[in-house]
């Protein structure tokens, strides 16, 4: 019993790190050295316990307080080791930063404080880009969920008789946006404008140099044209109005358009083309559409 207790105490004083799995692949001299090291550690641990007054003849009522004392010492050492590991990790990070600074001194100069500011700004930009990417993924997931919900509602509204029509519309790249209103996949076009200035180049030819003037063109992101089709999947003729809104990568609305189709007959696609102004200097990132009204037309019989 006492020998097992002494061995457990000696094990606690050893390094708590797990053994290397490759330690088994050793030669016979290495195995002999390892065994001798274990015997030395065991002898040292036994000697330390004897100095603390613990021998094979020690009574049980003295063993427990001694073990508590030893456990306190072991935990104190573990805390100190953990603190040292934190300090070493911090110093290694500083050393790595200094090494990177030395390698990049041609780009950032010799001012280390300026280099730290540039690195900090780069890290903030990277974190901002990562946040925008996460937001874009969440927005895309939200749109997928909304489309799935809208599709499920469309299936419930159309019922069994309308499943054939629904499959046909999906094959034609129509999507349900609510209240038995389907919208086709749309196309977008930005206006092309001539930018200020022109490029003049001279090209050699058999008869001398030829002057070639090229007018620079660019896209006007504030002027966009949208084209698509609407379809009334209900059984009655209706007046239909939908809204289409456009957003940038931050979720801010940068443009919108209202599309109205009067006297829309069932199952007939009605094309539309609308030009709208955008509050943006780059392409929109996402869009959404919803039904504003879908009023059935009441036919009045003339006596």
Per-position DSSP letters for 178-228, written without gaps between them: ETTEEEEPPEEEEEEEEEEEEEEEEEEETTEEEEEEEEEEEEEEEEEEEEE
Residues in CB range of 132: below 8 A, 6 or more apart = 249, 250
How do 208-232 and 181-184 pair as beta strands? antiparallel
Of the two residues 208 and 103, the one the predictor is more confident about is: 103
Is the model's pLDDT at 280 over the cut of 80? Answer: yes
pLDDT at 166 over 60: yes
Give the least confident one: 10-14, 39-43, 118-122: 10-14
Quote the pLDDT of residue 8: 44
Question: With 80 as the cut, is the pLDDT of residue 303 above it?
Answer: no
How many helices (H) and strands (E) in the chain? 6, 8
- pLDDT exceeds cutoff 60 at 10: no
Between 107 and 213, name the one with better pLDDT.
107
Q: What is the mean pLDDT of the segment spanning 77-106?
A: 84
174 CB burial (10 A radius; 0-12, 13-18, 19+): buried
**Rounded to whole angstroms, how far apart are CA atoms 167 and 151?**
12
| Cα dihedral sign, 270-276-279-284 | positive
- Kindly report which listed range (4-18, 27-41, 180-194, 201-215) carries the lowest average pLDDT score: 4-18
Confidence check: pLDDT of 107 > 70: no
**pLDDT of residue 63 exceeding 80:** no
Residue with the larger pLDDT of the pair 161 and 280 = 280
Residue 293 vs residues 179, 190, 301: alpha-carbon distances, Å: 9, 29, 25
pLDDT tens for residues 180-236?
Answer: 899 999 999 988 876 655 555 556 666 655 555 565 667 888 999 999 999 998 889
Whether the predicted pLDDT of 25 surpasses 60:
no
| Domain coordinates in residue numbering, the chain | 2-98, 134-296
Give all strands (DSSP E) within the chain, no chain letters: 174-178, 181-184, 187-205, 208-232, 238-247, 253-264, 269-277, 286-296
The pTM is what? 0.42
With cut-offs at 50, 70 and 90, classify the pLDDT of residue 6. Answer: very low
Q: Which helix (H) or strand (E) holds 96?
A: helix 60-103
List 29's β-bridge partners, or say none: none
Rounded-to-integer distance, Cα 85 and Cα 91, Å: 10
Instruction: Report d(CA 113, CA 99) in Å as an integer.
Output: 14
pLDDT for 155? 63
Write down the pLDDT at residue 169: 82
Q: Would you say residue 238 has pLDDT above 90?
A: yes
Give percent of the chain with pLDDT exceeding 70: 72
Cα-atom radius of gyration of the chain, to the nearest Å?
39
Q: What three-state secondary structure class fits 148?
A: helix
For the chain, give the mean pLDDT.
78
Q: What is the pLDDT of residue 15?
A: 46
Neighbouring residues of 22: CB distance < 8 A, sequence distance ≥ 6 = none
| Confidence grade of residue 108 (pLDDT, cut at 50, 70, 90) | low
CA 243 to CA 12: how far, in whole Å?
72
Q: How far apart are CA 245 and CA 36, in angstroms?
A: 78
């Amino acid at each position: 019993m006492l020998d097992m207790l002494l061995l457990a105490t000696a094990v606690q004083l050893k390094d708590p790190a797990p053994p290397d799995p490759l330690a088994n692949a050793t030669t016979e001299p290495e195995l002999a050295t390892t065994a001798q090291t274990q015997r030395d550690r065991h002898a040292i641990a036994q000697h330390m316990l004897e100095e603390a007054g613990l021998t094979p003849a020690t009574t049980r009522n003295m063993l427990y307080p001694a073990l508590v004392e030893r456990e306190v010492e072991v935990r104190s050492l573990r805390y100190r080791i953990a603190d040292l590991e934190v300090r070493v990790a911090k110093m290694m990070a500083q050393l790595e930063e200094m090494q990177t600074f030395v390698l990049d001194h041609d780009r950032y100069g010799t001012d280390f404080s300026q280099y730290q500011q540039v690195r900090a700004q780069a890290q903030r930009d990277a974190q901002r880009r990562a946040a925008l990417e996460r937001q874009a993924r969440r927005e895309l997931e939200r749109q997928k969920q909304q489309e799935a919900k809208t599709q499920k509602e469309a299936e419930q509204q159309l019922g069994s008789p309308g499943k054939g029509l629904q499959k046909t519309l999906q094959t034609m790249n129509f999507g349900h946006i609510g209240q038995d209103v389907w919208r086709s996949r749309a196309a977008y076009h930005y206006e092309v404008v001539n930018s200020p200035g022109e490029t003049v180049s001279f090209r050699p030819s058999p008869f001398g140099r030829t002057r070639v003037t090229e007018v620079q063109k660019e896209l006007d992101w504030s002027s966009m044209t949208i084209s698509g089709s609407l379809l009334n999947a209900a059984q009655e003729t209706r007046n239909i109005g939908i809204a289409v809104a456009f957003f940038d990568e931050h979720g801010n609305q940068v443009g919108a358009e209202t599309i109205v189709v009067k006297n829309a007959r069932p199952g007939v696609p009605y094309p539309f083309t609308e030009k709208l102004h955008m509050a943006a200097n780059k392409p929109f990132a996402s869009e959404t559409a919803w039904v504003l009204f879908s009023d059935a037309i009441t036919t009045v019989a003339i006596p």
